[in-house]
Amino acid sequence: MLHPLNQLLPPVTRFLWSQLCDVADPRADSGSRFRSEEIVAEASRQGVLGLLNAWTQSTPTFHLPSDVLKAHLGANAVRSLALVNEALKVSKLLEGDGLRHIFVKGPFLAQKYYGDFGIRDAGDLDVLVDELDVPRAVLLLRDAGYVRTKPVRDLTPRRWKLYLDTQHEFGFERRRLLIELHWRFADCRRLQSAMFPLLWERSRHVSIGAHSFRTLGAGDTFIHLAIHGALAGWSMLKWIADLGRVRKTFTAADEQLVSATMANPALSRVLELAHCLGPNDGSESRPWLEPVFRRIATNLINVASGEPSALNRLQSFVTSYRYQFHLVPGLRNRLAMLRSNLIMPADFDRSDLPDRLTPLLPLVAQVRRGIDKLLL
Amino acid sequence: MKFRRLTISREVLSQVVANEAVLLDMRTEKYFGLNPVGLRVWEMLQETSDLRAIRDRLLSEYHVAAEDLDRDLEALFDHLVAAGLAQEPVDGSP
């Protein structure tokens, strides 16, 4: 049976999807009917140009325009080098204070699962620490000159507690590189699969150059990708490609971990979706998946639509909640998601709203206070 | 040649891009570029520190006069050492 995305994706995207994500597509050809510029542009939008380049090395009949490719891959190489360099600094900083930390995704995933830390587009640096170590890690980063970008405002002690309880990251910036300090995989605590000590126990070393970094084990990486991808609407092919790549390295313990995690009702659909997006698993028909696949196809097509207007952002906010609710069934799970995403307006930017909506702000604040009262 | 053996500095990271390479020295945070032949030398330096062996392999791989190759290699090795990208190994290291 054809994978549902076969029917929904436009030809060039489908071509990339089937070639780079190892998905059987009987209608896929060698790509020769597409202009190479068309494929490069789409691969670049989907964050898979490095993967496409590697694939073409083994497919000599398929040529990519070298100037465009070189410019993009060169920029990506410099970015990956900068990220690893920054990771080493962050690592030494945290290690110097005895803080255990795990690097997630980015160049570390690329090195571990593709053997080349620059093959995969990476935007920022994600580092996971124990929730108990977050205040210390925040101070260390600040004292080392990293500028906090999320939340921008200072937090009162009560807000600190709320923030740790309901959010999942602090954002920092240095020399235009973003460093995200995480203590869980997503805002919603129910989407957490395991506490830090367990993640640490299952974490693995990955070597880049002469240096060694800790990264999540394969099972935890898959779970993290499943959550991250689901929340982001699986809007880039690079995330879907990662699923298959990580899953190929699974040991029996990783399989067991993922199966056991599916017992968490907040995660069952999220993981089921990740399985169905991965290679050779899209053939089983599940009615709840149909609207989800339609949404994912729309997201993949819209990835290049550019900066949305404030109104579109609002619409997209509502739509993404509807979509996330679809993935996280059960009243308690949904309330937990609402709570984690709504009560913390610390990084809310009023300039996002068009003028005609600003009179609604007091009402929004009132609703938030009500939710605070109800849920905290 | 001025140097007999060189090893790549452990603080240097490299990325290959379309037959060329971008290097980053993490101590100085400076980026460097290598052309295809420079990349080939860099790849060989990852395998051996013996510059004579590298020279001999290059002689067999490229149609080049030995004197020209020696001159170019000398210049490249000087650059790598001056930039801190490679160094003479301390006694006892491979």
Residue window 53-92, chain A: list those with CB within 8 Å of chain B.
Answer: 66, 69-70, 73-74, 77-78, 80-82, 84-85, 88
- pLDDT digits over A328-373, tens only? 888 888 888 877 776 544 445 555 556 666 677 677 667 666 665 6
Q: With beta carbons under 8 A apart, name residues in chain B contacting A210.
A: 10-11
Cβ–Cβ < 8 Å for A245, A304: no
User: CB–CB of A88 and B17 under 8 A?
Assistant: no
Mutation choice for A interface testing from B19, B26, B32 by most A CBs within 10 A: B26
Q: Is A209 on the interface with B (CB under 8 A)?
A: yes
ipTM (interface predicted TM) = 0.86
| Residue B11 binned pLDDT confidence (cut-offs 50, 70, 90) | very high
User: CB–CB of A85 and B15 under 8 A?
Assistant: no
- Burial string for A241-279 (b: 16+ CB within 10 Å, else e) reads bbbbbbbeebeeebeebbeebbebebbbbbbbbbbbbbb
- Select the more confidently predicted residue: A76 or A70: A76
User: CB–CB of B17 and A82 under 8 A?
Assistant: no
Query: What's the whole-number mean pLDDT along residues B79-86?
Result: 94
| Residue A185 binned pLDDT confidence (cut-offs 50, 70, 90) | very high
- Report the 10 Å Cβ neighbour count for B17: 23
Helix (H) or strand (E) holding B59: helix B51-61
Burial category of A216 from C-beta neighbours within 10 Å (exposed 0-12, middle 13-18, buried 19 and up): buried
What is residue A345's predicted lDDT score, i.e. its pLDDT? Answer: 47
What is residue A86's predicted lDDT score, i.e. its pLDDT? Answer: 96
CA distance A35 to chain B (A): 20
Query: What's the whole-number mean pLDDT along residues A215-221?
Result: 97
**Least confident segment among A234-238, A299-303, A341-345:** A341-345
Q: With beta carbons under 8 A apart, name residues in chain A contacting B17.
A: 70, 73-74, 77, 118
CA distance A158 to chain B (A): 40
What is residue A285's predicted lDDT score, i.e. its pLDDT? Answer: 64
Inform me whether the pLDDT recorded for A280 exceeds 80.
no
Inform me whether the pLDDT recorded for A279 exceeds 50.
yes
Q: Is B31 on the interface with A (CB under 8 A)?
A: yes
From B12, B18, B26, residue closest to A70, measured CB to CB: B18
What is the average pLDDT score of chain A? Answer: 84
Torsions phi, psi of A24, nearest 5? -65, 125
Q: With beta carbons under 8 A apart, name residues in chain B contacting A208.
A: 13
- Select the more confidently predicted residue: A4 or A312: A4
Inform me whether the pLDDT recorded for A72 exceeds 50.
yes
Helix axes A49-57, A66-96, angle to 10 degrees: 120
User: CB–CB of A78 and B22 under 8 A?
Assistant: yes
| Residue B8 binned pLDDT confidence (cut-offs 50, 70, 90) | very high
* Tokens matching residue A352: 């996002």
Query: What's the whole-number mean pLDDT along residues A100-114?
Result: 96
CA distance A12 to chain B (A): 24
From B18, B24, B26, residue closest to A73, measured CB to CB: B18
- Select the more confidently predicted residue: A142 or A369: A142
From B16, B22, B24, residue closest to A85, measured CB to CB: B24
Q: Is B81 on the interface with A (CB under 8 A)?
A: no
- pLDDT digits over B50-79, tens only? 999 999 999 999 999 999 999 999 999 999
**Least confident segment among A86-95, A108-117, A151-160, A221-230:** A151-160
Q: With beta carbons under 8 A apart, name residues in chain A contacting B12.
A: 209
Dist. CA A6–CA A27, nearest whole Å: 9
**Least confident segment among A93-97, A129-133, A339-343:** A339-343
Query: What's the whole-number mean pLDDT along residues A9-29?
Result: 78
- Select the more confidently predicted residue: B90 or A220: A220
Query: What's the whole-number mean pLDDT along residues A31-45?
Result: 82
Burial category of A159 from C-beta neighbours within 10 Å (exposed 0-12, middle 13-18, buried 19 and up): middle
From B16, B22, B26, residue closest to A85, measured CB to CB: B26
Inform me whether the pLDDT recorded for A266 exceeds 70.
yes
Cβ–Cβ < 8 Å for A301, A10: yes
**Least confident segment among A90-94, B1-5, B89-93:** B89-93
Q: With beta carbons under 8 A apart, name residues in chain B contacting A81.
A: 13, 15, 22, 24, 31
Mutation choice for A interface testing from B7, B9, B11, B15 by most A CBs within 10 A: B15
Sign of the dihedral through C-alpha A175, A224, A251, A199: positive
- With pLDDT > 90 as the criterion, what percentage of chain A qualifies? 41
Chain B residue nearest residue A209, CA to CA = B13
Q: Alpha carbon of B53 to those of A24, A64, B57, B69, B87: distances in Å?
A: 47, 35, 6, 13, 17
Query: What's the whole-number mean pLDDT along residues A80-90?
Result: 96
What is residue A347's predicted lDDT score, i.e. its pLDDT? Answer: 47
Chain B residue nearest residue A66, CA to CA = B18
What is residue A372's predicted lDDT score, i.e. its pLDDT? Answer: 57
